[in-house]
Amino acid sequence: MNEFSWIFLAALFLMTAVELWLSIRQGKYVQAHRNEVPKAFADQISLQAHQKAADYTAAKGKFGRKENLYGVVILLAWTFGGGLSLLSSGLDSLGWSPMLTGIGFLLSFIVIGSLLDLPFSYYRTFVLEDKFGFNRNTPGLFFADFFKQTLLTLIMGALLIWVALWMMQSSGEFWWLYLWAAWMGFAVLMMWAYPAFIAPLFNKFTPLDDAELQEKVENLLSRCGFKSQGIFVMDGSRRSGHGNAYFTGLGSNKRIVFFDTLLNTLNEDQIEAVLAHELGHFRRKHVVKNMLVMSVISLAGLALLGWASAQTWFYEGLGISSQSNAMALALFMLVVPVFLFFLHPLMTSLSRKYEFEADAYAASVANADDLVEALVALYKENASTLTPDPLVSAVYDSHPPAALRIAHLQTNS
C-alpha cells in the first residue's frame, strides 16, 4: 500500500457512499410523493400510473444499490484481491509472445467482466422489468444477444488491443497521443458503420410503411434541412415495452429510427414533434459538441495514463507487482470510472442544456403542445417518475425533470 492506494480507496469509498446516499434519498423522495399526482399532470396521468412509476423507480434504486456494491467487490477483487495478477501469471505460463499474451490478457479480462455482470443483467430483464410489465425478451434471445455481443467484442477488441499495445511499444514517449488519434478515428468509423452493419445484428429494421406518417416526416426533414438514408421502424417490442426514437449514423449514412412501441403509443402529430426534438440535437450540433467534449476527456485520460504507466507506484498502489502495457490498460479501465464519477454532474448539466435547446428547436418547427402531449404519454408508458429528487436529478439525469421541461415548453411556445 502506498499513497496512491489510499487516494484511490478514498475516492472509491466516497463515490460509493454518495451513490448509495443519493439512491436512498431518491427512493424516499419518490415514495413521499407517491400518493398525489403533480398538478401539472393531474388531467393526463392517473394516480395508478403515477404510483406504478414511483414503485418502479424505487425497485430500480434498490436493485441499483446492490449492483453498485457488487461492482465495488469485483473492482477490489481484480486489484487488491489479486485477480489481475492471477490472470496475468496464468497467461504468462503459456509461453506466448508478449503481444499475444497482452491481447489474450485484456480480452480475457473483458469477457470475464461481462460474465460477472451477466446475473445482474438477467435479473434486471426477467425479474425487475418483467414485474412492471416491460419485459418482452426470452432467455433464448437474451443469451443469443450476449453471444453476439461477446463475439463482436472479441473481434473488434482484438484489433483495437493490438493497435494500442503496438503503439505503446513502438511509438515512443508520446504513444498516448497516437493512440488517442486512432481511438477518435475508430469512434467516427463506428458512428458511420453502426446503423448499417452492427445494429441489424440485434434488431430488425424495416422501412416505414405508413404513407401519411412518412409524408409528414419527410416534410419535417425538408423544413429542417436534414437528409437521411431512410426512415426505419425497429422491432423494439421483441425485448421491451419501452418506446423511443432516434437518428443515428454519420454523413450520408444517417437513419431515422422509430421503435415500434413508440408508433403504437403516439399519434402522427406527436411522433412528428418527438422527431423534431431529435432533429434539434442535429441542428444545434449537439452530437459534434459531445464528441469534442469526449475527445478532450479521452485525450486527458490517455495523457495521464501515458505518465502513470511508467510509474511503479501506479501498479503497486493497486496491488499489482508486475508492470506491462496490457496491465496498465486494464488498470486504466478499472480506475478511471471511479474518478470520472465526480465529473458526472457537469456532464449531465450540459446534457440537460442540450435537451432544452432541442425542445426549443422542436417548438419552432413543430407544435409545442404536441411535444408536451408526447412527453406525457412517454413518461406514462415508460413509468418514468414525475417527482424525482431535485438533487439526484441534478447529479444523474441527462434530461430535465418532467415538470420543469414541460413548463419550459409551455412558457416558450
Q: Quick one: average pLDDT of 128-154? A: 94
Contact 327, 88 (CB under 8 A): yes
Q: Which helix (H) or strand (E) holds 205?
A: strand 205-207
CA distance 33 to 30: 5
Residue pLDDT, tens place only, 202-227? 989 888 888 888 888 888 888 888 77
pLDDT recorded at residue 253: 66
319-351 pLDDT, tens per residue?
998 889 999 999 999 999 999 999 999 999 999
Q: Please report where in the chains the cell 469485483 appears, as a residue.
A: 74
- Per DSSP, the three-state class of 255 is strand
Q: How confident is the model at residue 105 (pLDDT cuts 50, 70, 90)?
A: very high
For residue 184, count CB atoms less than 10 angstroms from its CB and return exposed for 0-12, middle for 13-18, buried for 19 or more: middle
pLDDT for the residue numbered 176: 94
Q: How many CA atoms lie within 13 A of 50 on its CB side?
A: 22
Q: In whole numbers, what is the pLDDT of the chain averaged over residues?
A: 91
What distances in angstroms separate CA 155 from CA 107, 166, 190, 248, one per listed residue?
Answer: 10, 17, 14, 23
- DSSP states of 256-286: EEEEHHHHHHS-HHHHHHHHHHHHHHHHTTH
Sorted by where each begins, the domain ranges of the chain are 1-413
Average pLDDT over residues 120-136: 94
Q: What is the share, in percent, of the chain residues with pLDDT greater than 90?
A: 65
CA dist 44 and 170 (Å) reads: 62
- pLDDT, residue 413, reads 59
Residue 138 grid cell: 426470452
Kindly state the average pLDDT of the residues 224-237.
82
φ/ψ (deg, to 5) at 44 = -110, -30
Please give the DSSP secondary-structure letter assigned to residue 342: G
pLDDT at 254 exceeding the cut of 80: no
Angle at 277 between CA 382 and CA 197, to 5 degrees: 80
Angle at 93 between CA 90 and CA 99, to 5 degrees: 90
The pairs formed by 188-196 with CB atoms below 8 angstroms and a separation of 24 or more are 188/250, 191/248, 191/249, 191/250, 192/249, 192/250, 192/251, 192/253, 193/253, 194/248, 194/249, 195/229, 195/248, 195/249, 195/253, 195/254, 195/255, 195/257, 196/229, 196/249, 196/253
| DSSP count for the chain of H helices, then E strands | 17, 4
Environment class of residue 207 by beta-carbon count within 10 Å: exposed (0-12), middle (13-18) or buried (19+)?
Answer: exposed
Mean pLDDT for the stretch of residues 176-200: 89
Q: Quick one: CA torsion of 326, 330, 336, 338, rounded to 10 degrees?
A: -160
Q: pLDDT per residue over 257-304, tens digit each?
A: 888 888 888 889 999 999 899 889 888 989 889 989 999 999 999 999
Q: 10 Å Cβ neighbour count for 100?
A: 14
Under a CB-based contact definition with an 8 Å cutoff, are residues 212 and 268 in contact? Answer: yes
pLDDT at 149: 94
Q: What is the Cβ-side half-sphere exposure of residue 112, based on CA atoms within 13 angstroms?
A: 15
- 35-44, 84-93, 221-230, 271-280, range with greatest mean pLDDT: 84-93
Q: What is the largest CA-CA distance in the chain?
A: 70
Residue 402 contacts residue 359 (beta carbons within 8 Å): no
| Closest to 278 measured CA to CA, from 228, 203, 206 | 228
pLDDT at 392 over 80: yes
pLDDT at 152 over 90: yes
Amino acid at 207: P
For residue 206, list its beta bridge partners: 233
CB 88 within 8 A of CB 323: no
For residues 105 and 99, give the distance between their C-alpha atoms in angstroms, rounded to a whole number: 10
